Structure 1
Amino acid sequence: MPTADPERPGFALPLLLLAGFRTLVDDLHAELARQGHPELRPAHGFVLQAVGVGGTTASELGQRLGVSKQAAGKTVDRLVALGYLERADDPADARRKLVRMTEKGVDGLRRSAVLFDALRERWVAQLGADRVAAMEDDLRAITPPNVFRLDLPGWFGT
C-alpha cells in the first residue's frame, strides 16, 4: 500500500537520514585531512571510541563493535600502522595485550569533537537553532536509549 503522502514516500526517510549522516561525516573527514589526519576513515572513529581512554583487548574491542576478534585485530593492525593505536602489555595480566590510543589517536578524536561542534553550528546557521534542536529532540524521542552502543552485530561486518 502506498504512503499517504506521495511527496514523502516512507523509503525516503532512511535515505535522508543516511544522507545527513554522510554529509556530516564526509565534511568532518575532509577537515580532519586538512588538519593532518588524511588517513582516518569513518570506521576508524568508531574503533577509537570503542578503545576508549583506558584501552582494551582485541577480544573486548570485537565485542564492543559486534565483530570477530580477528576482524577487530585486523582493524587494530591498520590503526597501529597508521600511528593511532599501540599494543602494550597488560599490567594486570601478562598473557594479555592491551590496545591503547596514541597521542595521534587522542588528537584525532579531540579534533573530531571540535569539528562536529562546528558542523552542528553550520546546520544551525542554515536551518536555525530551534529547528536543529527540534530535530535532535525528535530523534532522541524515537530512538532507543542505548542508541550509542557500538556492539550492534552486523554494523561493521566480519
Structure 2
Amino acid sequence: MKPNPDSDLSLLLTAASAGADEAVRQRLREAGFTDVRRSHGYVFQHLLAGPITVGRLADLLGMTGQGASKAVKELEGLGYVTRTADPEDARVRLVALTERGSRAVQESRRARREYHEEVRNLLGDTEMDALIRNLHALAVHTQGLDLLLQRRLRPTAGR
C-alpha cells in the first residue's frame, strides 16, 4: 500500500520541515551566506557559549573525533570557525565561532522569525496559535523538544 502524503502525519511533518528549512536557507543565501548547510547549524549551536575542544564537540554531536575534525576544517575554510591553542595547554585546540559565524547565527535567527511571520500571515492568528500549540504538544510527546532544548538533536546523514 502506497503512503498517502495528504494524510500521513510523518510525511507531512517531514515535508513541512523540509519546506521551512529551505525557506530559512533561502533567506540566508539572500543575506550572503550562500555556503551554509543545515548540518553546520549543529556545530554552531555548540559554539554559542564559547570555545570548546574538538573532542568535546564530537561528544556533543555524537560523532567521532575524526568526523568533528572534518566538520571543523570545512567550517574553518568557509570562515565560520577558528581554531586556537588553549591558553592552559598549547597542545589542545579550541574551536570558536568567528565574527562571520556569529553573523550567520544572527541571520538564521532573523530568517526563522521572518518565516514564522510568513506562516502566521498565511494561516491567520488563530490557526497559527493552534498550530504552535499542537506542534509543541507533539514535540513534548516525542521527546524531541527535550533533545532540542538540551542541544542533543543530531545531524541527519547526507545533509
| TM-score clears 0.5 | yes
Residue 93 of structure 2 is aligned with which of 82, 90, 97?
A: 97
Residue 29 of structure 2 is aligned with which of 20, 24, 33?
A: 33
Residue 13 of structure 1 is aligned with which of 6, 9, 28?
A: 9
| Normalised TM-score (structure 2) | 0.84
Residue 135 of structure 1 is aligned with which of 131, 134, 147?
A: 131
Residue 65 of structure 1 is aligned with which of 44, 58, 61?
A: 61
Matched, 1:43 2:44: no
Which is further off, 118-127 or 48-57?
A: 48-57
Residue 81 of structure 1 is aligned with which of 69, 77, 83?
A: 77
Please give the alpha-carbon distance, in whole angstroms, between the structure 2 residues aligned to 1:61 and 1:48: 10
Runs of 4+ more than 6 Å apart: none
- Give the structure with the larger helix fraction: 2
Kept in 2: contact 1:67–1:156 (CA 8 A): no
Kept in 2: contact 1:83–1:104 (CA 8 A): yes
Residue 106 of structure 2 is aligned with which of 103, 110, 121?
A: 110
Please give the alpha-carbon distance, in whole angstroms, between the structure 2 residues aligned to 1:106 and 1:114: 12
Matched with 1:147 is: 147
Please give the alpha-carbon distance, in whole angstroms, between the structure 1 residues aligned to 2:133 and 2:122: 18
For each residue in 1:98-127, what CA deviation from the matched residue of structure 2 results, as whole angstroms up to 9, or x when unmatched? Answer: 000000000000000011000000000001
Kept in 2: contact 1:48–1:105 (CA 8 A): yes
Kept in 2: contact 1:65–1:156 (CA 8 A): no
Unaligned runs of 5+ residues in structure 1 are 1-5
SS state at 2:96 partner: strand
Count residues in correspondence: 150
Residue 135 of structure 2 aligns to which amino acid in structure 1?
L
Unaligned runs of 5+ residues in structure 2 are none
Residue 53 of structure 1 is aligned with which of 49, 53, 73?
A: 49
Please give the alpha-carbon distance, in whole angstroms, between the structure 1 residues aligned to 2:153 and 2:36: 22
Kept in 1: contact 2:5–2:11 (CA 8 A): no
CA displacement at 1:16 relative to structure 2: 0.9
SS state at 2:60 partner: helix
CA displacement at 1:30 relative to structure 2: 1.3
Residue 101 of structure 1 aligns to which amino acid in structure 2?
L
| Normalised TM-score (structure 1) | 0.85
